[in-house]
Amino acid sequence: MFVADCMTKNPVTTSPDTGIDEAAKIMDKGHFRRLPVVEHGKLVGFFTNRDLLRASPSAATTLDRFEMRTLLSKIKVADVMQKNVITVTDTTTIEEAALVMAREKIGGMPVLSEVGKVVGIISSTDIFRAFVTVMGLDSGKTRLTIAVADRKGVLRDIATVLADLDINIDSMVTIPQPSGTYDIIIRADIADVETVKERLAAKGFTVSHVTQIG
C-alpha cells in the first residue's frame, strides 16, 4: 500500500502572509490540525495547531479579547510555521511513511507529487487506518500467535499445515524477540482452533495465544 492510497487528498492550503487568526478559522471550519503553506505553487512551510498554540497568548495574559485579536491579526503564518518541512511523495510506501513519522516524532506531513506539488497530507490516523486494513483487523478473523525458532522453512511448514486443513491465511507477520526467536502472527478464518493447535504441535510448533479480532 502506498501513501496515495490512504492520504487526505487535495488538502486545504494557506499562504505565508495569511494571519494566524485566519488560519485558525480555516482549520476550525475544516476540522483539521495541519495546513501546508504554499507560495507560487510550491511548499514553503507547514502550519499546525501546535504552532498556533505556541504563538497565542498564555491563559495568564492580562490582555483583553480585543487586544488578543489585534495581536493575533498581526502575526503571519510565515512568522511561526515550520520551514524545514519533512515530506513524503505519493509513491512512498506506508511502511516508509510510518518509519519517518516514528523517527521524527511527528503526527503528520505533507505529501508531494513527483514535480513537488502538494497533493495530500498523511497523518498518524491515516497510518492506523491503513494498518487496520492491511492486517484485516476489521474482518472478524482468528488471530494465532506461534512461537518459532529462527530456522529456514518455518513459514512454509506452518502454511502447509493450514493449507492441509483448507484454511486460507489472510495475513501473516513475523516479530523478532530479544531471545532470538520469532512470534508469527497469523490471521485467518478458523472454525476449529483446537485442531489447528494439535496439527501445529505435531510439527513442533506451539500456539502461545489465540484471540478473535474484529
Among the candidates 105, 132, 159, a domain finishes at 132
Looking at the structure, tell me whether residues 125 and 43 fall in a common domain: yes
Are residues 13 and 110 located together in one domain of the fold?
Answer: yes
Which of 107, 132, 157 is a domain's end point? Answer: 132
Q: What is the pLDDT along the chain (214 residues), one digit of tens a residue?
A: 999 999 999 999 999 999 998 998 999 999 999 999 999 999 999 999 888 888 765 544 555 565 666 666 678 999 999 999 999 999 999 999 999 999 999 999 999 999 999 999 999 999 999 988 887 777 778 999 999 988 899 999 999 999 999 999 988 999 999 999 999 999 999 999 999 999 999 999 999 999 987 6
* Cell numbers for 138: 476489521
Count of the separate structural domains present in the chain:
2
Distance between CA atoms of residues 189 and 160, nearest Å:
16
Boundaries of domain holding 50: 3-132
Q: What is the CATH number of the domain that holds 199?
A: 3.30.70.260
40 and 100, same domain (yes or no): yes
Q: What is the CATH number of the domain that holds 86?
A: 3.10.580.10
Question: Do 105 and 13 share a structural domain?
Answer: yes
Does 127 share its domain with 171? no
| Listed residues 117, 132, 147: the one ending a domain | 132
Q: What is the pTM of this model?
A: 0.77
Residues 31, 105 within the same domain: yes
Is residue 123 domain-shared with residue 178, that is, in the same domain? no
